[in-house]
A and B are shown apart, each in its own frame.
Chain A
Amino acid sequence: MTAHDTVPTRRSAREDSAADGGAPQPRRTRRRQSVGGALVALLAELLIIAGAGTGLYVAWTAWWTDVVAVNEQSKLVDDLGQQVAPKIEGSEHRGTAPVLAEPPDVTDVFGTMQIPRFGADYLRPIGEGTDRERVLNTIGLGHYQDTAMPGAEGNFAVAGHRVTYGKPLNQIADLKTGDSIVVRVTDKAKDFDVWYVYKVTDSQIVTPDKIETIAPVPNKPGVTPTADDRWLTLTACHPMWSAKERYVTHAKLDYWMPVSEGTPKELSETPK
C-alpha cells in the first residue's frame, strides 16, 4: 500500500517541477545527447569516482590505520597488566641481567618500549615476530625471532613502521647518541618485571638486505657477543613512505632494574 502511495506522489512532484518550467528542460536535452557525448560523460563520472576512491585510500593509510592501531596498541599494553612502578629511583644494576625466555609464539606481547625522545607519553607494546599482518600492522613493534631478548648478550632487534599503522618508529631519525630507550619486560605468570635502559650509540641507513645490522654484534656477523655486547637495534623504513632503504639505530645496555625497586630516572627527564 505504501508503495502505491509513493508512486503518485513522486509523479505529481515531477509534474510540479514541470509546471515551474525550468528544471525538466535540461534533462530532456541530456537524454537526446549523442552516444559519444554520453561516453565522455560516463568517463568523466568514472574519473571522479576513481579520484575520490584514491583520495579515500590515502586518507585510510595515512590516518585511519593509525587510529585503529594506536587504539589496539594501548589495549595490548593494558592487557600486559603492568603495575605502576614505585616512583623512586632504584639502583642501577650493571651486572648480568635477568633475561626472560623468548616467547614461543608469534604475536605474544612480552613487554613495552618507552623512548623519552618520542614524547613523555610514548609507550608501545612489543610483540614476538616481524610478521607484517599479525605483528607490525597490529602490535606495532616486532621482535625479530631468534635475536636476543632484552638484557641478554647479543642483539635485541626490533622492527616497526615509520608511517601508517600507529607508526611506532615515526621519529626514529630524531634519536641522538646517548638518548635512552627504556624496555620493560613483564611476565606476570613468572613474576618477571624488569626495566632495561639502553643508550643510543649510532644510526645507519642501509639497503633492506643488510641483515648484519641485527647480528648478535651489530655489523660483525659471526662474532660471538661478550658480556659487553648487550645491544638493542631498531629498524624502520627509509625514506618515509618508501621501502628503498632502512633506517637502523643501535643502542647499548646501560643498566637494568627490577620494577619493584623503582623507575629509571630517564623516564622523568626531558631529552635535550
Chain B
Amino acid sequence: MIFPFVWRVLPGPVPLKVLELLVLLAVIVYALFTWVFPWIAADILPPPDGTVDVSPSP
C-alpha cells in the first residue's frame, strides 16, 4: 500500500525517516500551493469575482 511503501522506501533509521517524511510533505504542500491550486482555481473552479457583467460570470 502507499503509506507503508513510502515508509519502507525512505532510507535510514526511524528518526531520519520521520524527518524525511516531513520534508516530503512540505515539498508536496509547496507544490500544491504554488502550482496545482492556482491552476484549479483559474481553470476548473473559478471563485466568484464580484463583477456585474452581461455574460454571467461563474
Residues of A with Cβ closer than 8 Å to B? 6, 10, 13, 30, 38, 41-42, 45-46, 49, 53, 56-57, 60-61, 64-65, 130, 132-133, 136, 142, 144, 159-165, 169, 206, 208-211, 213-214, 235-237, 241-243, 246, 248
Q: B41 is contacted by which of A61, A209, A241 (Cβ under 8 Å)? A: A61
Contact B52 A53 (CB under 8 A): no
In the complex formed, the residue of A with least CB distance to B14 is A13
Against A, the Cβ 8 Å flags (1 = close, 0 = not) of B29-51 are: 10011000100111000111111
Chain A residues in 8 Å Cβ range of B12: 6, 10
Asked whether B52 lies within 8 Å of A214 as measured between CB atoms, the reply is yes
Q: Which residues of the partner chain A approach B49 to less than 8 Å between Cβ atoms?
A: 130, 132, 136, 159, 161, 237, 243
Interface SS majority for chain B: loop
Check: B11 CB closer than 8 A to any chain A CB.
Answer: yes
Once the chains bind, are B56 and A208 in contact (CB under 8 Å)?
Answer: yes
Decide: A159 and B1 in contact? CB cutoff 8 A: no
Contacts of B57 in A (CB 8 A): 208, 243
Shortest C-beta distance, B42 to chain A (Å), equals 6
A132-B51 Cα distance, complex, nearest whole Å: 9
In the complex the two chains form, what is the Cα distance from A206 to B48 in whole Å? Answer: 14
- Across the two chains, which residue of chain A brings its CB closest to B40? A57
Q: Known interface pairs A6-B11, A45-B1. Does A237 touch B50 (Cβ–Cβ under 8 Å)? A: yes
Interface size class of B (residues with CB under 8 A): 20 to 34
Q: A159-B49, A235-B50, A236-B50 are in contact. Are A57 and B37 (CB under 8 A)?
A: yes
Tell whether, in the assembled complex, residue B48 and residue A237 are in contact, meaning their CB atoms are under 8 Å apart.
yes
Is B51's CB under 8 angstroms from A144's CB?
A: yes
- Cβ B50 vs Cβ A242 within 8 A: no
Q: Which residues of B contact A237 (CB under 8 A)?
A: 48-50
- Contacts A57-B37, A60-B32, A61-B41 given: A242-B48 contact, CB under 8 Å? yes
In order of increasing CB-CB distance, the 6 nearest A-B pairs are A243-B48, A237-B48, A236-B50, A159-B51, A60-B37, A237-B50
Contacts of B29 in A (CB 8 A): 56
Judging by beta carbons under 8 Å apart, are B52 and A213 in contact?
yes
Contacting pair B33 A160 (CB below 8 A): no
Residues of chain B within 8 A (CB-CB) of A13 are 13
